[in-house]
Amino acid sequence: MTRPHSFPFVHGLGAAVLALSIVACGQQDATAPSAGPAPADATPAEPPTPVAPDADASDEAGPTGFDIARLPVSRVPLGEFPYFSVPEGYRADPLHTKRLNFGEAAFWVGDRFERVEGKVYATGIRADRDSGKQFSAPEVARNLQHVIEAAGGVEVASGEIPRASRQDEAIETLMRQYHTEARCWDDDPVQTFVIRREAANIWVRTCKSQRFAGLVVLEEEAFVATSRLLPADELKRQLDAAGRVAVTVNFATDKADILPESTPQVEQVLRLLEEDASLELSINGHTDDTGGAAHNQSLSEARARSLVDALVAGGIDAARLQARGFGQSQPVADNSTETGRAQNRRVELVKRG
């Protein structure tokens, strides 16, 4: 919301794809992040074998426009996520790179944005000063397009996103978690590719500006809930033992709106307070360290107030509750990992008095 040198572009595409790269781009494609050079006697990979779409795929798309089911399925062998890296002579800046085991991004498909969840890699691309190369947006874009299409990707949108669409507040908020150099400026041209796979579809967004280019790769992945509902009696047990308990209350991205999925947990907090009329609580909001400290402080305070308001709306006397925000100042886990950041984004109930 890292590697100063170049790597093989697509793991597993082999010598055949690299040879195509030289013809199409006038230079050897960059090498991929984690694979190393292919063995000298490596057997060339089979060329892309897309599967023909359904019989009616030749018909025009309906009123909804883009339909991923109309794209051919690619069975081109791929290596490890994120599959693609920067061209030779360029670098992905670690300060402008974000990796999420589970995240969300918006992809422009020509008539609307598609919000997609899964594993995310987002980075900004600049010329590597040590290589002496000057930045060329067309060179980066052509290299990326070549290797994505060699992997079975289909371009579904290209060009500047219409002003009215890119001013969608929800989309702006969602994409703000990624560095500007990964998503470029609002009026910079973008390309969206989709690699339709039998196991998991892969979405790729590239963009180019005057001095940098951006790359966002997302592999679709279903959300798996790892948190659990804490019933009122368990909340009481932990409060009696430790004086505080963390509860899973989910909010809209970068906002204080409580999501409907958190209603059952809020109801258990209500029940806790109803069953013990003498209990007074401080509702403490916490964030991870993504974004500025001042912003996170305000956000944590607003989220704590939202939960207090929900409890008061449920019939609890406001005098029994206090809303406090601590921003990113009290982490309970390592903010360098997505798992740690998820643990730091929390609401705690703390006994008063």
* Same domain membership, residue 254 and residue 180: no
DSSP string for residues in 45-81: PPPP-PBP--GGGGSPP-TT---GGGSPBP-----ST
Query: Residue 292 has what pLDDT?
Result: 84
Decide if 64 is inside a domain: no
Q: Using CA atoms, how far apart are residues 323 and 309, in angstroms rounded to an integer?
A: 9
Assigned token pair, 276: 């013990």
Decide if 324 is inside a domain: yes
Q: Using CA atoms, how far apart are residues 28 and 30, in angstroms rounded to an integer?
A: 6
Query: Residue 49 has what pLDDT?
Result: 53
Instruction: Please answer whether residues 213 and 184 qualify as being in contact, where contact means their C-beta atoms are separated by less than 8 angstroms.
Output: yes
Last residue of a domain, one of 196, 220, 244: 220
* Residue numbers of the chain with a pLDDT score lower than 50: 1-45, 52-63
Decide if 5 is inside a domain: no
Query: Residue 27 has what pLDDT?
Result: 39
Q: Which among 12, 58, 15, 8 has a CA at the least distance from the CA of 33?
A: 8
Last residue of a domain, one of 220, 253, 285: 220
Q: What are phi and psi of 285, to 5 degrees?
A: -100, 140
Query: Global pTM?
Result: 0.61
Decide if 274 is inside a domain: yes
Instruction: Please answer whether residues 24 and 146 qualify as being in contact, where contact means their C-beta atoms are separated by less than 8 angstroms.
Output: yes
* Same domain membership, residue 310 and residue 182: no
Range of the domain at 150: 14-50+72-220
* Same domain membership, residue 156 and residue 32: yes
* Same domain membership, residue 138 and residue 195: yes
Residue the block writes with tokens 């959300």 = 223
Q: What is the distance between the terminal CA atoms of the chain, rounded to a whole angstrom? A: 38
Tell me if residue 316 falls in helix, strand or coil: coil
The count of structural domains within the chain is: 2
DSSP string for residues in 153-201: -EEEEEEPPPHHHHT-HHHHHHHTTS-HHHH--TTS-EEEEEEB-SS--
